[in-house]
Structure 1
Amino acid sequence: MSEIKFSNDQTARLVSKVKAYFEAELDQEIGGFEAEFLIDFFASEIGPHFYNQGLADAHLLLQEKVEELGYQIQELEKVPG
């Protein structure tokens, strides 16, 4: 998996949310630079776990759909006679 990258707009929105969270929940102010470092840390350390869970969820959904398709194909089979 490649490194997670955010656009400038995404980064600005995330920085704003992190700063607001720190102020509202922790009663601390942090600067944009610190918030950006925190985002980079979470993206590199925790991001892969969310990514892998997303893959696992997609895989399960795909398996369910393939099984459902198998049943639908069986219903189309003709009985000789």
Structure 2
Amino acid sequence: MIKLERAQKEALARAIQDYMQDELSVEIGQFDSEFLIDFVTEKLAPIYYNKGIEDAKSVIERRMLEMTDELYEIEQEVDI
């Protein structure tokens, strides 16, 4: 599971509390909002992590194709 720094978790908890109050008219405390962060992180982190890996793989594959093209461009002819 992703480990958030204390300050990050507190800021997220405050944002969740504000959202719940503003959008849903529900008041939740610090403990409940941190519990929600833990739950959401546990369930969603692997999905976002895997998406990040897929995106990184796409970038690497694209760069490898570019490098392959560049290598073909500098390849010298052999007359034997």
TM-score (norm 2): 0.91
Cα distance in 2 for residues equivalent to 1:16 and 1:69: 47
> Taking every aligned residue pair, what percent have the same amino acid on both sides?
33
Cα distance in 2 for residues equivalent to 1:32 and 1:55: 32
Could you tell me which residue of structure 2 aligns to residue 8 of structure 1?
Answer: 6
CA-to-partner distance for each residue in 1:16-49, whole Å, 9 max, x for gaps?
1111111121111110100000000000011110
Task: Output the amino acid matched with 1:54.
Answer: G
Could you tell me which residue of structure 1 aligns to residue 38 of structure 2?
Answer: 40
Cα distance in 2 for residues equivalent to 1:18 and 1:8: 15
Tell which has more relative contact order, 1 or 2 (C-alpha 8 A, sep 6+).
Answer: 2
Cα distance in 2 for residues equivalent to 1:63 and 1:17: 38
Cα distance in 2 for residues equivalent to 1:76 and 1:23: 63
SS at match of 1:80: coil
2:50 to 33, 49, 52: 52
Instruction: Spell out structure 1 runs of 4+ moving beyond 2 A.
Output: none
Name stretches of at least 5 consecutive residues in structure 2 with no aligned partner: none
**2:17 is the counterpart of 1:26:** no
Name stretches of at least 5 consecutive residues in structure 1 with no aligned partner: none
Give RMSD over aligned pairs: 1.0
Cα distance in 2 for residues equivalent to 1:66 and 1:77: 16
